Amino acid sequence: MPASRTILVHALAVIIGMSLWFVASLTSGKREPWDDSAYWTGAYPIAIVISGAMGYIFPERPWQWALELFLSQFVAMAIRNGEIGNLWPLGLILFAILSVPGLLLGQFTAWLRGKLSTT
């Protein structure tokens, strides 16, 4: 993938991740939307599906799109809260764990694209 396209895909993953967090925060009325069921039934599944779609569309290193999408939610949380706080390492670890289903789906869809293009 050309460098300019790679930068755009990285930016897309970050923008989508941050947008999901901000929209979920606004719609739930919570500072941290994962304290509301709307995040788990809306934003989180959407993030996983988008990770899979990005893996299919951009199959080079598909794991990174999911990781960036979820870790950018941490950045959005820090911006929304106005601070990182002393639990930031735990927050990063939690977002990394939350990215695993999206990471696996992105890997699968990239593999699927490779299989479909060879047939």
DSSP per residue, the chain:
--HHHHHHHHHHHHHHHHHHHHHHHHHHT-SSGGGSHHIIIIIHHHHHHHHHHHHHHS-SSTHHHHHHHHHHHHHHHHHHHT---TTHHHHHHHHHHHTHHHHHHHHHHHHHHHHHHH-
* Average pLDDT score over the chain: 92
> Do residues 95 and 73 touch, judged by C-beta distance below 8 A?
yes
> Do residues 10 and 61 touch, judged by C-beta distance below 8 A?
no
Given this model, what pLDDT does residue 88 score? 85
Which of 66, 73, 68 is CA-nearest to residue 100?
66
Given this model, what pLDDT does residue 4 score? 77
Q: What are phi and psi of 83, to 5 degrees?
A: -160, 165
Q: What is the mean pLDDT of residues 50-56?
A: 97
Q: Cα(first)–Cα(last) distance of the chain, in Å?
A: 22
Q: What is the value of pTM for the model shown?
A: 0.90
- Most trustworthy range by pLDDT among 3-12, 45-54, 89-98: 45-54
Domain with 83, as residue range(s), is 3-118
Given this model, what pLDDT does residue 119 score? 64
Question: What pLDDT digit, counting tens, does each position of 55-95 carry?
Answer: 999 998 899 999 999 999 999 999 988 877 778 889 899 99
Q: How many domains does the chain have?
A: 1
pLDDT above 80 (res 50): yes
